[in-house]
Amino acid sequence: MKAHTKETQSTMTPAKAIQFLKEGNQRFQSNLKANRNLLEQVNDTSEGQFPFATILSCIDSRVSAELVFDQGLGDIFSVRIAGNFVNEDILGSMEFACKLAGTKVIVVLGHTSCGAVKGACDDAKLGNLTAMLSKIKPAVSAVAEPADTSLRNSKNLDFVDNVSKKNVELTIDRIHAESPVLSEMEKNGEIKIVGAMYDINTGAVSFY
């Protein structure tokens, strides 16, 4: 499989980009990687890059976007931060990726059993981690069930995963609210902004 070119990127639509990612994840789950020569892709991309997707994911070592979507060099912009939330710098990076570099989809990718989400659920405090986890706490508050406070912690994995999904949804809301550039592009049909969850037990990505 060759690296994307300006021509292949220009024919990509948001729907087609999402389909490419879904097909890549299916290959990953089946352990059937696309046939690609990474060193050849190094050469192909040495004078430019034409990715089709931007993935915002967690730093979790089990959730490498290139691997779980079976993509090669030059295929995706990968933004990684614990808890996959956005700030001004990440929004700026996304605006570059879509408006200037031509990607067609932004995927906010959460995952099951997320350590950052567990920390937010437990109100963990440690150096700069305290401020970082505060960005995820709105998702904790937004998940109403269970009401029993003794069950609203990292030991309740169903609660943790529900918070992770809500965190993805709230992150998408923030992208819409805080980036007029990306909101306008989506309104014009140039890009799509979607959420997804990666299951660390199966390797499957569910889009929603």
What are the tens digits of pLDDT across the range 50-85?
Answer: 899 999 999 999 999 999 999 988 899 999 999 999
4 annotated ligand-binding residue: no
Backbone angles phi, psi at 28, to 5 degrees: -60, -45
In angstroms, the CA 173 to CA 104 distance is: 18
Nearest to 111 by CA among 37, 204, 22: 204
Helix, strand, or coil here: 206? Answer: strand
Q: Which CATH number belongs to the domain containing residue 65 in this structure?
A: 3.40.1050.10
Asked if residue 139 belongs to a domain, the reply is yes
Asked if residue 166 belongs to a domain, the reply is yes
Domain that holds residue 51: 6-207
CA distances 27 to 13, 33, 36, 104, 202, Å, are 21, 6, 13, 21, 13
How sure is the predictor about 13, in pLDDT bands with cuts at 50, 70 and 90? very high
In angstroms, the CA 74 to CA 123 distance is: 38
Least reliable range by pLDDT among 1-5, 179-183, 190-194: 1-5
- Count Cβ atoms below 10 Å from residue 134 Cβ, excluding itself: 12
Structurally, the chain folds into a number of domains equal to 1
How sure is the predictor about 49, in pLDDT bands with cuts at 50, 70 and 90? confident
In single-letter form, the type of residue at position 127 comes to: G
Q: What is the mean pLDDT of residues 124-139?
A: 96
Asked if residue 56 belongs to a domain, the reply is yes
pLDDT at site 1: 73
60 annotated ligand-binding residue: yes
What pLDDT, in 10s, does the model give residues 79-116?
999 999 999 999 999 999 999 999 999 999 999 999 99
pLDDT at site 2: 76
CA distances 73 to 5, 24, 57, 129, 152, Å, are 12, 14, 17, 31, 41
CA distances 162 to 156, 171, 198, Å, are 10, 14, 13
Asked if residue 79 belongs to a domain, the reply is yes
Count of alpha carbons within 13 angstroms of residue 80, beta-carbon side:
12
98 annotated ligand-binding residue: no
Both tokens of 155, joined, read: 């030991």
What pLDDT, in 10s, does the model give residues 142-185?
999 999 999 999 999 999 999 999 999 999 999 999 999 999 99
Asked if residue 1 belongs to a domain, the reply is no
